[in-house]
Structure 1
């Protein structure tokens, strides 16, 4: 026994009618009362017909309406009381083509699209410099060929009568003066919307409609590609009945290199050279990412200072889809000799060759002076001194008072 019959009356059908009867009635009345056909005289009736069909053709809404009437649909429908669909949109979806008799455009419809699946691929900086083709084995779902994605024998799959194929049921609970709608998976079909007898289930996919297979794809890494670059394989995602497969997205993940650091299309390299090379010139070797050895000349008379940065133009990374290269930047670390590496006589000779030291300023005669010497520190003292040099005191490390902060320049 239904609570109200107003919507059934709008479509001129009995409350016990089937879905096919509803569809037939709507088709007949929508064509008869479409405003383009009647000159707008039947606009209100066309709205009522569309609203009635929108509710009664939805198993969930029909169940609520039959039990509680239109009052139970409060909050169920979207704008316009029709789940966000105007009567013209509903007409367009039902009959196809334009939105109205005059050919107004409707909303496009089609199969749902599956999710994209992302996989990370570890690559070296050498791979990105030279280019490479890698094979990657993936697991993916494909439509079961045995049952053609039906899950069972031909005609064995039945729509669940409990949830009318929705896969869920609407439970209404009294919450004070209000009725609360709760959506729960249908227990009869376990949320599938379909029921298959155990004896009729596909033995290959066990009624899941898809099977898992191993797919090997070839990933072409072009020269100059960067960390985080996405390589897309269209339509290679998981398959499922009624769904357009998504994409497989391969994300390049560059491993840290032992010697080179990449910034955009440039390379950075730290080179250690001796003090004599820094002062008098010489050569250094740099093994590049393609196994070439770059012979770098430091010209005599060209003094290299600690942490100085020099450039070798055009020896960086190749630029993707272009034929030029970034630059190679070399930062020099000067390796000084150990203490007491030579005797006083040779030090005097060295002092005579090097530019003279800047003279100390003269002190007033009344200045009190004291001779002090430099000493080596143990690891604990050195760590404490380095923290202080960075403006971090012991109290900061222990959660006490903040130390002196470095001034902003």
Structure 2
């Protein structure tokens, strides 16, 4: 014997096992599919068939603000799956930053490498750099500004825009290297390893080169070795008389 669900969504079945012994089994109501109410066939929605749920495509426009970072999330509240009696879920967009062929991002700074010829490192250079926002920077080094291999220079306010402060930017950091292999073809050959190995190291005293400030050294010596006649008199020295 089956009993209607009476709006509960659960159908009760009664099975008589033995005289005077009855088993009661509760199952999901097949008529209302557990919803607790039945809709007649003529009143059912032609789209969902009375299930009260339908699939729908919706286009969401995702706006990426300047300066947003890898892994940052954009949340569309209430745009997820919906079911009767339940609050709709959210759609969460997670940003995945792709690698760039020239620039590497480090926070608000952009890093890049630039290889120079020897004449550029010694005599200055002008190199165009295409920015991410389609501008062209002319990176300039003036004659006399020696750029050594491994030097790092930066251009202020040409990095990534800061999040929610788009008019403030980080730095463009440039790491320099030189085309030394090409230069070796035009210079005398280096000493062979066999020649250096044959040297008697006991005959040599190793001397390490260090940076020096000649002007500072000259001022230091001038302080100790120069006195005029007034200085000599004030220190109680004996005045020299000439005949």
TM tier, smaller: 0.5 to 0.7
Q: Give 1:259 deviation, angstroms.
A: 0.5
TM-score (norm 1): 0.38
Which of 93, 108, 131 pairs up with 1:250? 93
- What are the equivalent positions in structure 2 for 1:213-224 lying under 5 Å apart? 213-224=56-67
Structure 2 residue 166 is matched with structure 1 residue 325:
no
TM-score (norm 2): 0.61
* Mapped partners of 1:203, 1:260: distance in 2: 55
* Mapped partners of 2:27, 2:175: distance in 1: 67
- Superposed CA offset, 1:295-344 (max 9, x none): 11112222222232111111111111113111110011211243763376
- Superposed CA offset, 1:123-167 (max 9, x none): xxxxxxxxxxxxxxxxxxxxxxxxxxxxxxxx9x7722239xxxx
Structure 2 residue 165 is matched with structure 1 residue 305:
no
* Mapped partners of 2:80, 2:202: distance in 1: 84
Residue of structure 2 equivalent to 1:162 = 12
Which of 341, 346, 349 pairs up with 2:185? 341
Local SS of the residue matching 2:75:
strand
Shift of the 206–343 alpha-carbon distance from structure 1 to 2, 3 Å rule, reads: same
Which of 9, 26, 34 pairs up with 1:193? 34
- Superposed CA offset, 1:157-212 (max 9, x none): 7722239xxxxxxxxxxxxxxxxxxxxx947659x534769957644213432111
1:275, 1:337 within 8 Å by CA — same for their partners in 2? no
- Answer 1 or 2: which has greater helix percent: 1
Q: Give 1:240 deviation, angstroms.
A: 1.0
Shift of the 162–262 alpha-carbon distance from structure 1 to 2, 3 Å rule, reads: farther
Residue of structure 2 equivalent to 1:271 = 114
2:9, 2:29 within 8 Å by CA — same for their partners in 1? no
Local SS of the residue matching 2:121:
helix
1:286, 1:295 within 8 Å by CA — same for their partners in 2? yes
2:118, 2:183 within 8 Å by CA — same for their partners in 1? no
* Mapped partners of 2:115, 2:179: distance in 1: 7
Structure 2 unpaired stretches of 5+: 1-5, 14-25, 190-198, 204-243
1:282, 1:297 within 8 Å by CA — same for their partners in 2? yes
How many residues get paired? 174
Q: RMSD of the TM alignment (CA)?
A: 3.3
2:28, 2:34 within 8 Å by CA — same for their partners in 1? no
- What are the equivalent positions in structure 2 for 1:7-406 lying under 5 Å apart? 159-162=9-12, 186=27, 189=30, 193-194=34-35, 199=41, 202-322=45-165, 323-338=167-182, 341-342=185-186, 363-364=201-202
- Superposed CA offset, 1:87-126 (max 9, x none): xxxxxxxxxxxxxxxxxxxxxxxxxxxxxxxxxxxxxxxx
Local SS of the residue matching 2:126:
strand
* Mapped partners of 2:45, 2:181: distance in 1: 79
Structure 1 unpaired stretches of 5+: 1-154, 164-184, 348-360, 366-409
Give the structure with higher Rg (CA). 2
